[in-house]
Structure 1
């Protein structure tokens, strides 16, 4: 993998030398204390003990999906297969994870767990040229993240892959039952008018075209488009499409029925700015806001 280079441009241009952390536990502690800032994940527990092993770190993301963190301590360590084992174990022991969430965050949060898109994040100072190829072949939600430290004040993360993974068939088959009567996103999409389906595909393709770092996560009730964190959450209905953007509504000209501040309104997904899209013209008018959400997050 090509190395990431960082330069200081004060008092001339000087390259900042990169390094690894002295002890991998130092990196793990830093990430666990700042997991929400770095990855949009709420930290749950360190060294989570399971059958035949321990997960380095475990958390739950802003879409209420489980996230496992594994740290690669040597070039020969097969952290990808290890993470895959932990992911399969977690899917077979959902009650254990629910109990963990209940203990750390309460019953309400535990009831909101979404199993349609669990994730493994593998973090290392470097990966071999075969690692990214192996992850792509697995068709699982596994992310490779390379880190570099620059002195005592800077750390950089490079996301080496962007998984495009669909929820497991068995998970999708039980979504409606688990959401207390609410139709799943997929059900809404199947039952809506052809015009709305076509409009959704245009929105879907546009957001993904913004950059290779955008991933699509299809969840129970909405689709989340994310970089490190969600930038847009999309819901489809009979007569319109709702997009919630991660933008401050105070920085946007609001239009009732079209562009709304929903900071004080409950809704699925994340994002305080709601766009109500009914036709192609509505979509064209809000493209600059979607662009902003991409570039500002």
Structure 2
């Protein structure tokens, strides 16, 4: 990306967030626009022995549950952490259904598409092993790289994507850089 001025052009160097929470706040504030997901909960605490906290929990445009896991940089455990949350979600459907009912109403809760839950990992980068694992997996997993460009632009790039359920499409998103909120 380049910035034009009267005297020429200068390259705008991409950068990572100072903290994981910065990326999470920005994406959650614009989740429908950036990912096509309605945000239901942030930092959702799991009610199980091993515990944990799902960064973002939502519903996509097909009414499928979506877990979004954020990492500031490259984290080899992001996919495994997300799959742990996915297993929790699938064995605690009643808790998710209640969350949807409380946030969006009984009608939305009755239309949840349990056959196509999704995991979206948003991180500063991924390894080639992460991309390979996603392509070989039977779940709906998206690896999405984020970058800040200067103080006014934010970009998302899909690094790898796998749709584990034939016939269930995801709306294509071209995450155009746009202004950051103040």
Q: Within 5 Å, give how 1:19-30 maps onto structure 2.
A: 19-30=15-26
Q: Point out where structure 2 has 5 or more consecutive residues left out of the alignment.
A: 175-182
Report the counterpart of residue 44 of structure 1 in structure 2.
40
Write the distance in 1 (CA, Å) between the matches of 2:135 and 2:18.
30
SS of equivalent to 2:165: coil
Q: Once the 2 structures are TM-superposed, how far is the Cα of residue 17 of structure 1 from its aligned partner? A: 1.1
Q: Once the 2 structures are TM-superposed, how far is the Cα of residue 138 of structure 1 from its aligned partner? A: 1.6
Q: Point out where structure 1 has 5 or more consecutive residues left out of the alignment.
A: 1-5, 168-216, 219-223, 230-297
Write the distance in 2 (CA, Å) between the matches of 1:118 and 1:66.
5
Report the counterpart of residue 71 of structure 1 in structure 2.
70
Q: Once the 2 structures are TM-superposed, how far is the Cα of residue 35 of structure 1 from its aligned partner? A: 0.4
Report the counterpart of residue 2 of structure 2 in structure 1.
7
Q: Once the 2 structures are TM-superposed, how far is the Cα of residue 10 of structure 1 from its aligned partner? A: 4.8
Write the distance in 1 (CA, Å) between the matches of 2:11 and 2:41.
37
TM-score, reference length from structure 2:
0.86
Report the counterpart of residue 136 of structure 1 in structure 2.
135
Q: Which structure has more helix as a fraction of its residues?
A: 1
Q: Which structure has more strand as a fraction of its residues?
A: 2
Q: Does 1:147 align with 2:146?
A: yes
Write the distance in 1 (CA, Å) between the matches of 2:75 and 2:53.
19
TM-score, reference length from structure 1:
0.54
Write the distance in 1 (CA, Å) between the matches of 2:144 and 2:36.
14
Write the distance in 1 (CA, Å) between the matches of 2:24 and 2:107.
28
Report the counterpart of residue 105 of structure 1 in structure 2.
104
**4+ runs deviating over 4 angstroms:** none
Write the distance in 1 (CA, Å) between the matches of 2:32 and 2:106.
21
Deviation readout 1:246-268 (Å, 9 max, x if unpaired):
xxxxxxxxxxxxxxxxxxxxxxx
- 1:145 to 1:225, Cα distance in 2 relative to 1, 3 A: closer
Q: Within 5 Å, give how 1:122-271 maps onto structure 2.
A: 122-166=121-165, 217-218=167-168, 224=169, 226-228=171-173
Cα RMSD of the aligned pairs, angstroms, is 1.7
SS of equivalent to 1:156: strand
